[in-house]
Amino acid sequence: MQYIRIHSLDNVAVALVDLAQGTPISVDSQTVTLRQDVARGHKFALRDIAMSENVIKYGLPIGHTLTDVAAGEHIHAHNTRTNLSDVDAYRYQPDFQTSPSQPADREVQIYRRASGDVGVRNELWILPTVGCVNGIARQIQKRFLQESDDAEGTDGVFLFSHTYGCSQLGDDHINTRTMLQNMVRHPNAGAVLVIGLGCENNQVDVFRDTLGEFDPERVHFMVCQHQDDEVEAGVEHLHQLYSVMRHDRRVPGKLSELKFGLECGGSDGLSGITANPHAGTIFRLCDRQRRYHGTDGGAGNVRR
């Protein structure tokens, strides 16, 4: 398959591979010959498009042409512009649809945490409070995996390294701390080791005191400057955490209990053809389950 026309109303198609000038494209019993090379992910016209006429993709206008565009011509920023103005006002006008029947709440296998949240994996996490301990945390992770036979019986041991936590002030500092604290409470983490250096702004003591309720058997804290051998101490913490969470088992749960986070992975010309529709289908399915079965959920933006 060399190209895709996403919607029957589209007057453009998207190249799925690099296409050379002169390549014949058959659409709706007609043949269009490419007038230029068209790179993978880029658009080309399926028919003649007059100047200022809308470019239709996904069945909707995505912009308009700046010049007359011939069938087979490459369509990109050089000959199209957005239909958006400099300032646009948006209003929330939901048009709710009632499903004709109540969907069955599908059974899924989950890890049910003490907080009431549910996860789909049972992982052991290492969270540095500051980027300065990334190297130490990596050594701790590597040694523990060697000693524990790759943490057999879990879904993995993961280090979430970052470059923040040192010399951060105000909202910048608070946002870093809040994000890491939310990760401590993530239901896919069966246990968490929080590692600090000792001199950073994102202090472990304050981090722990503002974390809220947590299970001390599943969440450990370590300050490297308080240890004679921080690697040895960190590995011991992981062994203790591992001994608790390795016995967790999946139990039957409901699809409506799951929460999904959506993230733009770096949109390109193929994003709206592959990952985004798949994510949208999953979200719509789960959203229907939540509406009928009472589980709150959030939405994320998925770009085309």
pLDDT, residue 103, reads 64
pLDDT, residue 106, reads 84
pLDDT, residue 70, reads 97
For residues 106 and 174, is the Cβ–Cβ distance under 8 A?
Answer: no
Task: Show me where the domains of the chain are located.
Answer: 3-81, 110-245, 259-293
Residues of the chain with pLDDT under 50: 293-304
pLDDT, residue 295, reads 45
pLDDT, residue 297, reads 43
- State the fold for domain 110-245: Rossmann fold (3.40.50)
Round to whole Å and give the CA distance between 222 and 226. Answer: 8
- State the fold for domain 3-81: 2.30.130
Convert the pLDDT of each residue in 221-268 to its tens digit.
999 999 999 999 999 999 999 999 999 999 999 888 888 777 766 667
Convert the pLDDT of each residue in 12-52 to its tens digit.
999 999 999 999 999 888 899 999 999 999 999 999 999 99
Closest C-alpha among 65, 67, 66, 63 to residue 83: 63
For residue 40 the two structure tokens come to 């993978």
pLDDT, residue 302, reads 36
Order of strands across the sheet that contains 118-119: 118-119, 107-112, 251-254
Round to whole Å and give the CA distance between 237 and 140. Answer: 10
Round to whole Å and give the CA distance between 19 and 297. Answer: 42
pLDDT, residue 84, reads 84
pLDDT, residue 92, reads 83
pLDDT, residue 74, reads 98
For residue 23 the two structure tokens come to 């390549």
pTM of the complete model = 0.68
pLDDT, residue 300, reads 40
